[in-house]
Amino acid sequence: MAKSRGRRRRSGFFSGRSRSFAQNAAVASTQAPSELTIPQSTRLQSGARSGALLAVASGVAIVANYIFLLAAGRLLGSDRYGSLAALLGLLAVVLIPAQALQMAVSREVSRRIASGDSASAYAFARRTLRLALIATGPLVVLALVLALPLSNLLNIDSTGVVVLAEAGLVTAFIAPVAMGVLQGTQRFHALAALYVVPFLLRLGVFAIAAAAGYRLGAAVLATTASALVGTALAFGLIRAPLADSSRESRIDLRPFLRYLAPVAVGLVGIALLTHIDLLIVKAHFTGGEAGAAASRDGRGCAESVGRPTVRAVSRAKVPSRPVTG
């Protein structure tokens, strides 16, 4: 009898502890709702929606770009269109490699947010944006110094048009960083809008400038203005989250730059291989032949001056969040 009472006490003690553990587990799960398991189907649906959104935005941008090129080809004629294609090809040698920044920044920001350190992600974005601003100055100065030699080399009559085109290099590093922050923080609606708005704006500016009697200058002005406005919009969208700079000094960009450098070098090679022949044609042959060459292979397109829209669709994935079962 005494042994059975002792067993009942012990079983009551352990059952009480198990109830206490279960209650504590319930309390712990309610204290950290962000760490609850996110269903796999929800993540897949979110990624599919984001990819579809960017795919649609890219399609609209491609159509707007095609309309611009068609209108520019009709209005400018073969000679001036060759000059436009040469200028865009020249800018592409810088702008296409710079797009590696968008993917790299997006990867780093999403990784830090997924690990639960949003403050570190925004500090990294601020540090990278500051570095982009610093690097932009020497690039633009070098481009302006080379404006006259490039004008002579490419047989472009107006040095002012070359300078206007080179003004688009102000966006070379800033725009990819801003877009990468938006992509890394999963602001896909804003990202989709930024894919479309610059191309539509370019059409509007080109129509107004062409109606005023400008030709090559109208196309270059529309291209540069749309790039500047798009960059300003992107910077405005990320400005508020990046306001606090208290942790910026703790961010070391050297590992980031180390893995970014080989990608950028590879993209420089691709940009040269895909555009150097057009520049050679423009430098050594007539503008009409350069325009015909650009028309045949479809170059002089928006990827030379804006952000390549299709590339980001493959990266429109929702970063995996840390979850606990």
Contact partners, residue 256, CB within 8 Å, separation at least 6: 104, 108, 124, 128
Q: Which two tokens stand for residue 39?
A: 């269903």
Residue ranges of the chain with per-residue pLDDT less than 50: 1, 3, 8-9, 11, 13-40, 42, 300-325
* pLDDT on residue 147: 93
Q: In this predicted structure, what is the pLDDT of residue 226?
A: 95
**Could you read off the pLDDT of 247-275 as tens digits, one per residue?**
555 778 888 888 888 888 888 888 888 77
pLDDT, residue 264, reads 84
For the chain, which residues make up each domain, given as ranges? 50-313
* Token pair listed for 58: 């890219």
Query: Cα separations (Å) of 216 from 14, 142, 278, 304?
Result: 85, 23, 18, 16
pLDDT of residue 298: 53
Span 89-103, pLDDT tens digits? 888 888 888 888 898
Backbone angles phi, psi at 32, to 5 degrees: -130, 70
Smallest CA-to-CA distance from 220 within 301, 147, 140, 162 is with: 162
Residues recorded for the chain? 325
- Report pTM: 0.74
